[in-house]
Structure 1
Amino acid sequence: MAKLTIVASIKVKSDQVDFVKSQLENLVPITREEAGCVQYDLHQDNENPAHFLFFEIWESRELWQDHTNNDHIKAYQAATEGMVEEFVLHELTHIA
Structure 2
Amino acid sequence: MTEIVPTPNVPFALVGFARPKPERAAELRELLLSFVAPTRAEAGALEYHFHEDTDDPGSFVFYEVWRSKADLDRHLELPHMKEFWEHRMDYLEQDLDIRWLSMRSAYPRPIDA
Q: 2:92 is matched with which residue?
A: 84
In 2, Cα distance between equivalents of 1:29 and 1:47: 26
Are residue 73 (structure 1) and residue 77 (structure 2) matched? no
Between Structure 1 and Structure 2, which shows a larger proportion of strand residues? Answer: 1
Q: Could you give the per-residue CA deviations for residues 37-94 of structure 1, whole angstroms, max 9, x where no partner exists?
A: 0000000011222210111110001111111111121233456542112311111111
Give TM-score, length-normalised by structure 1.
0.90
Q: 1:19 is matched with which residue?
A: 27
Are residue 4 (structure 1) and residue 12 (structure 2) matched? yes
8 Å contact from structure 1 (residues 31, 40) kept in 2: yes
Structure 2 stretches of 5 or more lacking a match?
Answer: 1-8, 106-113
Are residue 32 (structure 1) and residue 61 (structure 2) matched? no
Kindly report structure 1 stretches of 4+ aligned residues shifted beyond 6 Å: none
In 2, Cα distance between equivalents of 1:79 and 1:21: 15
How far off is 1:8 after superposition? 0.9
Secondary structure of the residue aligned to 2:90 is coil
In 1, Cα distance between equivalents of 2:65 and 2:88: 24
Structure 1 stretches of 5 or more lacking a match?
Answer: none
Could you say what the CA RMSD is over the residues aligned between the two structures, in angstroms?
1.4
Identity of aligned residues (%): 24
Secondary structure of the residue aligned to 2:19 is strand
In 2, Cα distance between equivalents of 1:90 and 1:39: 16
State which structure, 1 or 2, has the greater radius of gyration over its C-alpha atoms.
Answer: 2
Give TM-score, length-normalised by structure 2.
0.78
